[in-house]
Chain A
Amino acid sequence: MSDETMTIFSPQLAARLDALAARYPVRRSALVPMLLYAQDEIGYVSQAVIAEVAERIGITELEVRNVASYYSMLHFKPVGRYKVQVCTSISCALRGADELYQRFQKELGIGAEGVTADGIFSLERVECIGECSWAPAIQVNYDFHEELSPAHVPGILASYRGKAMAGEKTPDA
């Protein structure tokens, strides 16, 4: 994108996306990473994200939507600032993932795909996150937490709530 082009992203992200588009032999290879990095900053894949990514890659918005809808980490409506993703696939389930998930539900007062009223947390059950030998495990945004029991839940939530209160801007950085 030229300097004059309007962007909805921060200058750092815009520069990163410029570099990303230029690094592959075929520009379109940057599409999926671009959407994920954009979501990390904007919070979700909004219409504006789709429009700008389509322009950066040089494909239609429809093509962007078609690809984006395939990938489970991309979402199309706002979620909590901290996405609590509890793995309930087999290895975690054998070691108490359901009880862990229920404790998160209780502490947060929300169900699957819910967002807390203050917008700080959302809760999801997810499939295998590659932490099977350290089960049960969760991911909060991109951070892993391993070998958990329901008793760990209040402490984990308190630490992220503290970060949110301290005004941490980019939770994933």
Chain B
Amino acid sequence: MPRLVSHPDEVKIVSRRFGQGAASIERYLALGGYESAWKCLKQGPEWIISEMKASNLRGRGGAGFPTGLKWSFVPKQSDKPKYVLVNGDESEPGTCKDHLIFQHDPHAVIEGTIIAGLAIGAKLGFIYLRGEYRGLLEIMEKAVAEAYAKGFLGKKIFGTSTEFQIITHTGAGAYEVGEESALMESLEGKRGIPRIKPPFPALVGVYGGPTVINNAETIAAVPHIIAMGGAAFAAAGTPGNGGTRLFSISGHVERPGVYELPMGYNLKKMIYEVAGGVKGGRKLKAVVPGGSSTPVLLPEEIDIGMDFDQVGKAGSMLGSAGVIVIDDRTCMVEFALRTISFYQHESCGWCIPCREGTDWLKKTLTRFHAGFGEAKDIDNIQYLAENMMGRTFCPLGDAAAMPMVAFVKKFRGEFEEHLGGNACPFAKPAKLEVV
């Protein structure tokens, strides 16, 4: 079972019930569970949306769209049923926070889904987990059954005349379905290829009905926002970036783990104090700040606050808040190859720039890393990547291309060291088998 970590700088809001047995409904209720949903039933949709707007909560999947605003786009009147869809297809390399939410606090996901349903007037919510999370899906399913048994879900929730049902759903292996329109396709029993937008899901979503789609961490934050008040949640973060974030810290640090820190927490401090510094006291070479799709930062670029705006200003993105720390023994060409291999594997093949672009980038980087690169390849990698950007239906094309541009720009010297038939200067005794 994943190890839980702790640090005095943490502000535990979303993770406050981790490690406390809250997967059981009795314990969840003892810790104040389902009080927020009851409050929302009494207060009504407009109050919920105003609290959510006041909270400055922004989507935790990576795009950072304001959640309250997203909910407010759903039309009040609709001929077709409305839905809530929770995105638990957590697959961005470097990101493992939803894993802990499903394991330790499944009822928070259920309660957040109920509240989202009340806010938009939906009677049905779906909680979609990636296929690999079977054990976590079973925890969610048990929690949903408990919520039905207590009357928090069903035809008349909390003894009122309001109906809200939840269906849990398993994927079967696909990063691409983490993109919201592909997620809907997958839920509908199809290949997970993206839909063209507009129309946006708030108007035309699952089965053609208006749909709110939120990341599992976003949804899990909702009951806490209702309990503490939107303004108090907002105050925990920075302007326009409300609350805290679950940072998945991985790679070459002494104490990797998932830490809940206020939005805007300094990245350098996060690595050197919270995570205990670079492993073995080695030198820092690079940091990927928000999951594999976010452009890499150099050691001199990490004295920044970790919120959507400040990381954006530094030329990267907060993304899914997966902080990947890389020490000086690492070959950045190999790291780039490993990154593009993921996107090449996961490209759904629908849009040609992404399908062909990821494939050619992987081929080029494989050859390059093996010592058969040519000088023109370096510019070619950048050219290929730049020409994928903004030319695909969904953001996977950009997600694959953006980090490649940054690797070439910031580590050009390291690429050049691989030229002229030189073996990788970082060669380890064990080499990656190319598949």
Contact = CB atoms under 8 A, between A and B. Distances in A.
A89 B170 contact: no
Nearest to A112: B435
Interface string B1-15: 111000000000000
Contacts of B174: 70-72
B31 interface: no
Nearest to A102: B430
A121 to B, nearest CB: 18
Contacts of B335: 90
B94 A91 contact: yes
Contacts of A132: 93-96, 248, 250, 256, 322, 324
A111 B324 CA distance: 29
Interface stretch (A5-13, A32-40, A151-159, A160-168): A32-40
B205 interface: no
A62 to B, nearest CB: 13
A134 B330 contact: no
Interface range, B side: 35 or more
Interface in B157-174: 167, 169-174
B81 to A, nearest CB: 7
A74 interface: yes
A133 B173 contact: no
A130 B90 contact: yes
A23 B168 CA distance: 10
Interface string B124-136: 1000001111110
A36 B131 contact: yes
B345 interface: yes
Interface string A65-97: 011001111100000000000001111011100
B417 to A, nearest CB: 20
B432 A98 contact: yes
Interface string B183-206: 000111111100000000000000
Contacts of A127: 91, 93, 175, 341-342, 345-346
Contacts of B300: none
Interface range, A side: 35 or more
Contacts of A36: 131, 170, 172
A94 B326 contact: yes
Contact of B169 (A33, A73, A95): A33
Given A26-B188, A26-B207, A57-B189, A143 B135 contact: yes
Given A127-B93, A128-B93, A146-B2, A95 B132 contact: no
Contacts of A66: 191
Contacts of A147: 3
Contacts of B91: 127-128, 130
Contacts of B81: 25
A23 B167 CA distance: 8
B132 A135 contact: no
B251 interface: yes
B96 A94 contact: no
A73 B131 contact: yes
Given A133-B96, A134-B3, A89 B338 contact: yes
Interface of A: 23-26, 28-33, 35-36, 57, 66-67, 70-74, 88-91, 93-95, 98-99, 101-102, 111-112, 125, 127-135, 139, 142-144, 146-147, 172
6 contacts: A36-B170, A70-B174, A94-B252, A111-B433, A125-B435, A132-B256
Given A125-B435, A127-B345, 4 more contacts: A89-B93, A132-B324, A133-B258, A135-B256
